[in-house]
Amino acid sequence: MIEDRPMLPAPEEPAHWPEWRRELAAFRREARERLRYDTRMYDAPAFAWTRASFSCCVAMAFDERLYDPRAGRWTLNAFLDEGQREFGGYDSLVYWHAYPRIGFDPRNQFDFYRDMPGGLPALAGLSDDLHAKGLRAFVDYNPWDTSTRREPVGDAQAMTGIVAATKADGVFLDTLASGAGEWRGVLDAARPGVALESELALPLAHVHDHHLSWAQGLGDGRVPGVLRNKWFERRHMMHVIDRWSRDHTAELHTAWMNGTGMMVWENVFGSPVPWSPRDRSILRAMLPIQRRFVDLFTSESGSGEGWTPLVDRGLSGGDDGVYASLWERGGVRLWTLVNRTEESKPGAPLEVADVAGSRYFDLVAGCELEGRTGAGRRRMELAMRSRAIGAVVAMPADAVTPDFEAFLSRQRELDARADWRAAQAPPAQRRLLPDLAASPLPADAKSQPGMAVIAARKWSMVVAFRERECGFYEDPAFRPLTPAVLDQIDQGKRHDIGESGSVADGRLHQAVVRTRRASVGRYAIDKVPVTNAEFDRFLAATGYRPAHAENFLRHWVDGRPPAGLEEHPVVYVDLGDARAYAAWAGKRLPSEEEWQLAAQGALQHLYPWGDEWLPERCNTGSTTTPVLAFPRGKSASGCLDLCGNVWEWTESERTDGWTRFCILKGGSHYRASGSDWYADGGPRYCNYAAKFILMWPGLDRCSTIGFRCARG
């Protein structure tokens, strides 16, 4: 059936287009009658904003362009300014919060919103700032989050509480084709106008109560097709998206020909996938037209359908790779055109019925078109770059106001700054390492109290990690996300690429093992993690208090370690807290390489005690245990508690200016189950490395992460 397909493909032959349009019209009439389609939710003024939300940005809450960890403040205005400059501005933002961090500890998706900098009131303030600019905010819901800490109410009620507290305008339904039946009722009871947007293809039966949906994985053909849900309900907003693509022109063409929106997403869960200058230029030209003529793109004319896909352009013969849709309302006609070819078209023809008193304008170039007239027809020619869009409007002469002239002037300025470069390299990572020689090891030291002394070594270091969307770190052995690698992602050829990236290639979540050269000097490392008792002595000696105290030592009671947990690893400390302790102790944190060498030894054992999994030699329970609880789990270097008690910080902080992260080692006692979208938990191999995305101390402090120190 035609309605089973989210994209209704167009025939290749222009001769078949009229019949195809008749079939589309019949399908729409029949489907509306069969479903007894109810338009009340689209008629409601509270939801009017959704039909004009053409540009939606997925904003990772941890993105350093949105939150400055050094200044400790949100930088929403700067983020929006960049969006205006580069993409033509956003109409709405999705605050993405939990994934891919969720699963390292028991906090659930709702806790992640509560633990954002400034908590829920700060997020409400961000919504206020967006609303003051006429923009809207989405929060996202992760239905697969079922085994972390449970809320006392159902997910729909819990999410509604987050919506109310953050003043959000919509809920993005991650991995869902539609919300469960209860969603609409609880949201409407909380506040009118809170919209639902599905990620997967929204069924026709739910178009009436879901005002927005994603359009992804469509497989549009050479001849542009029609988005089923947009055709069915012209006011339904769809955001076309292929987040891993390096060339968004096909998506932009689909959106433009269907009068619908785009999803802008460059920081993909921590993996940078920047838009090219060409794609940014196309979107900058497109959005002002869509916003100005929103009524054309989202309503029907009184005399007919209002939208005519694949209109005849008056070609003398053949198919030149340029296609057009026609939009009509109130005496205004607007043609949206796309050049699907890699060739520039200096004079792409457009022949239309010439209505007396009409003036014609090229809305991309921002100029009036004269053309040639005859026999009630007008023939014009447009200059179109390769892969470009075009727009022609015919309007009554008395509609050409000073405001419209100013609009054309702005379009000319945008066209003048168009940049047709088709690729942009991802931002480069840099390491944020303090001086590792700040705590030197005496040259003649054969031992250090409570520490294992390990000789300098150069070796081929095996690193294991899980193929996740957040990526890993740049290293020649891991083949970072260069344009060439991303081209391979686009082509589905990622068979031997160590950098995480593609959802479509079937490798997501699989274990990956890579080898790289590593080198360490002579150093000493603590035999056990720092305990609650040791951290208590540090506080008593220094009076240390972090600048941001949220969740600092959250498990302590009245400022002291809980009774019976004195010799357990200290947790609820962030990277800065661990560094402060290490500096007081005359030490530092170990590098990833130092930690792994101490754990697996020169023979590179899988586990500290050898290559065989022996569960009685480490913590496999559900809470932390004393650091000396498993003496038989000792490594060849004499270190203990390296597997399964708590993850451990390493001195491996990196940033690309968008995402800041470090590498955790060891695994923990906690394991979230039931979904591959969770971060890994439980005991881990010595060579396992987990990419842990950093944001701010209140979120980075976990019940499952501790540390040990090093010298040298």
307-416 and 437-456+521-711, same CATH topology = no
> Which ranges of 620-710 does DSSP label H, i.e. alpha helix?
697-700
Omega cis (within 30) before 480: no
| pLDDT value at residue 512 | 82
CB 94, CB 140: distance < 8 Å: yes
Encoded tokens for 153: 């109410």
Could you list the beta-strand ranges (E) of 89-184.
92-96, 136-141, 170-173
Cα 84 to Cα 67, 123, 681, distances in angstroms: 18, 21, 40
Q: Give percent of the chain with pLDDT exceeding 70.
A: 94
Which region among 49-53, 167-171, 465-469 has the lowest average model confidence (pLDDT)? 465-469
Q: How far is CA 114 from the centre of its chain?
A: 20
How would DSSP label each residue in 277-300? HHHHHHHHHHHHHHHHTHHHHHS-
Q: Domain residues of the chain, as ranges? A: 307-416, 437-456+521-711
| pLDDT value at residue 507 | 59
CB 393, CB 243: distance < 8 Å: no
Fold of 307-416: Immunoglobulin-like (2.60.40)
Which region among 14-18, 482-486, 502-506, 678-682 has the lowest average model confidence (pLDDT)? 502-506
| pLDDT value at residue 41 | 96
Give the C-alpha separation, 265 to 282, whole Å: 15
User: What is the 3 state secondary structure string of 161-200?
Assistant: HHHHHHCCCEEEECCCCCCCHHHHHHHHHHCCCCEEEECC
CB 56, CB 138: distance < 8 Å: yes
Parallel, antiparallel, or unpaired: how do β-strands 92-96 and 136-141 relate? parallel
The pLDDT of 9-18, averaged and rounded, is 95
pLDDT band at 20 (very low <50, low <70, confident <90, very high): very high
pLDDT band at 635 (very low <50, low <70, confident <90, very high): very high
Give the C-alpha separation, 28 to 111, whole Å: 43
pLDDT in tens, 288-317: 999 999 999 998 755 556 999 999 999 977
Report yes or no on whether pTM surpasses 0.85. Answer: yes
Fold of 437-456+521-711: paralog of FGE (formylglycine-generating enzyme) (3.90.1580)
| pLDDT value at residue 378 | 95
CA nearest to 63, candidates 264, 197, 198? 264
Q: What residues does 384 pair with on adjacent strands?
A: 345
| pLDDT value at residue 540 | 98
Mean pLDDT estimate for the chain: 92
β-sheet with 377-384: strand ranges across? 345-353, 377-384, 372-374
Q: What is the SS3 assignment for 452?
A: strand
The long-range contacts involving 381-384, CB below 8 angstroms and separated by at least 24 positions, are 381/347, 381/348, 381/349, 381/350, 382/337, 382/345, 382/347, 382/348, 382/350, 383/344, 383/345, 383/346, 383/347, 383/348, 384/322, 384/337, 384/339, 384/344, 384/345, 384/348
| Nearby residues of 63 by Cβ (< 8 Å), 6 or more positions away | 79, 267, 658, 659
Specify the DSSP element, H or E, that contains 228.
Answer: helix 228-232
Give the C-alpha separation, 250 to 256, whole Å: 10
> Which ranges of 367-512 does DSSP label H, i.e. alpha helix?
402-416, 483-490
Give the C-alpha separation, 118 to 124, whole Å: 10
